[in-house]
Amino acid sequence: MQRYNDLSTYIKSTFGEKILKLSIDAGFTCPNRLNGTGCIFCGEEGAGEFAGSRRLSITEQIDSQIEFLKHKSESEKYIAYFQSFTNTFAPVEVLRKKYYEALSHPNIVGISIATRPDCIDEETRNLLSEISKQYETWVELGFQTSNEETAKIINRGYENSIFKEQALLLHKAGIKTIAHIIFGLPFETHEDFMNTVKYINNLPIWGVKFHSLYIQRDSSLYNYYLNTRFKILEMDEYIDAVCDSIELLRKDIVVHRITGDPDKNKLFEPLWPRDKIKVIGNINKELKKRDIEQGKALGGSHGL
Ligand code: SF4
C-alpha cells in the first residue's frame, strides 16, 4: 500500500512509464554566495554534488548521464535537472538558450530548475510558463525552514514572505513548484519541522523534498558545528519527523524524496544518511506500523 503521493506514481500516471532525472551543472553561480558566504550548509559544488561536469556542454552532460543511468530504467526518457547553484541567475536569453538546449535533446521530456525564490523575475517566469505549456516543468525552491531565526543562522538570505510571494506567482503562471525542506537545522525542534510543513500546506506548492541536514567538510556549517556543537538529528528522530510530516501534508502534494543522498567523501556528521536505502526502508516500516497516510491528520480539511 502506497502511504504517500510519491513522485514515481506521479511520473507513471503522467508518462505511463518510469522516467529518471539526470543532473546538470549548467555553469551558473549563486547570488547568495557572491553577496556573502552563501547558505551555511552549501558545499563547493553549490548543492550539485552529483551533477555533470560544467566543463562539458549541456548536451554532452545529458549524453554522459544517460550512459551512466541507462541500466536503471528501460525508458529512454529523462527529466533534465538543473541542479548546481542557482539556475535562474542569468539574463533571460542565457536561460532560454540553456533550457532549450536540454529540451532539444531527443531523450529529454522535461526540466526541473533548482533555484532561489528571490532570483526569479517576471521575464524568467514567462519563459518557464512558455516551456511548461510544452514540457513537464518544475521549479525547486530552496526553502529549508519557516523559522525566520533559523533562516538567519543558515544565511538563507531571504524572508518567508519572499518565498510565499514567489510560490503564488509561479502557481499563477502555471508552473509546478517544489519546496525543498531540511530537518535538523541548528537548534530546531520537532515543532519547528511541523511548522515548516504547515507553512507549505498553506501555499499552492505542488511538490516537496524532505531532507536531513548533513555537515559537509567543505561547507561553512562544518566550522559552525565545531564552534557551537548544536544537536545533530538522530536517524530515529528524522524518521519520526518525516512520518509526522506525511501525516500532516496536504494529500495532493507530490513527495519527491523522503531522504537526502550525501556525498560520502565529504560527509562529516551525521553518518546515518549514507545508507539511503535503510533510511527509506525504516520510514516505510514506521508509516505502516503507525498506519499513517498522507494528509490523515488533516481529516476532511484540504489544508489550503
Ligand atoms: S542558494 Fe543554493 S547554491 Fe546558493 S548558497 Fe544556498 S544552497 Fe548554495
Closest of 276, 167, 117 to residue 211, by C-alpha: 276
177, 137 Cβ separation under 8 angstroms: no
Which numbered atom of ligand 1 lies nearest the CA of 41?
7
**What are the CA-CA distances from residue 239 to residues 6, 52, 191, 278 (Å)?**
17, 31, 14, 11
Per-residue pLDDT tens over the stretch 115-128: 999 999 999 999 99
Residue 72's pLDDT is 86
Q: Tell me, using a 6 A CB cutoff, whether residue 142 lines ligand 1.
A: yes
Residue 303's pLDDT is 47
Q: How far apart are the C-alpha atoms of 191 and 246, rounded to whole Å?
A: 14
CA of 39 to the centre of ligand 1 (A): 5
Specify the pTM.
0.95
Q: What 3 state SS string does 173-209 have? A: CCCEEEEEEEECCCCCCHHHHHHHHHHHHCCCCCEEE
Phi, psi of 140 (to 5 degrees): -105, 115
Closest of 76, 200, 188, 206 to residue 143, by C-alpha: 200
**C-alpha cell at position 294:** 498522507
Q: Which of 54, 83, 86, 181 to mutate to test the pocket of ligand 1 (most atoms within 8 A of CB)?
A: 86
Sign of CA dihedral 31, 37, 42, 43: positive
- Helices 122-132 and 92-103 meet at what angle, rounded to 10? 20
Which residue's alpha carbon is at the smallest distance from atom 2 of ligand 1?
A: 85
Which residue's alpha carbon is at the smallest distance from atom 3 of ligand 1?
A: 85
Which numbered atom of ligand 1 lies nearest the CA of 114?
2
Phi, psi of 151 (to 5 degrees): -55, -35
Q: Which regions of the chain are under pLDDT 50?
A: 303-304
**C-alpha cell at position 258:** 523522503
Q: Which residues pair with 209 in a beta bridge?
A: 180, 257
CA of 247 to the centre of ligand 1 (A): 29
136, 79 Cβ separation under 8 angstroms: yes
CA angle at 247 for the pair 291 and 158, rounded to the nearest 5°: 155
Residue 53's pLDDT is 81
Per-residue pLDDT tens over the stretch 186-216: 999 999 999 999 999 999 999 999 999 999 9
Q: Tell me, using a 6 A CB cutoff, whether residue 184 lines ligand 1.
A: no
Cis link prior to 270 (omega < 30° from 0)? yes
Q: Which of 83, 116, 178 to mutate to test the pocket of ligand 1 (most atoms within 8 A of CB)?
A: 116
CA neighbours closer than 13 Å in the CB half-sphere of residue 270 = 21
Q: How far apart are the C-alpha atoms of 43 and 137, rounded to whole Å?
A: 26
Q: Tell me, using a 6 A CB cutoff, whether residue 47 lines ligand 1.
A: yes
3-state secondary structure of 6: strand
Q: Which residues pair with 54 in a beta bridge?
A: none
Q: Tell me, using a 6 A CB cutoff, whether residue 46 lines ligand 1.
A: yes
CA of 33 to the centre of ligand 1 (A): 7
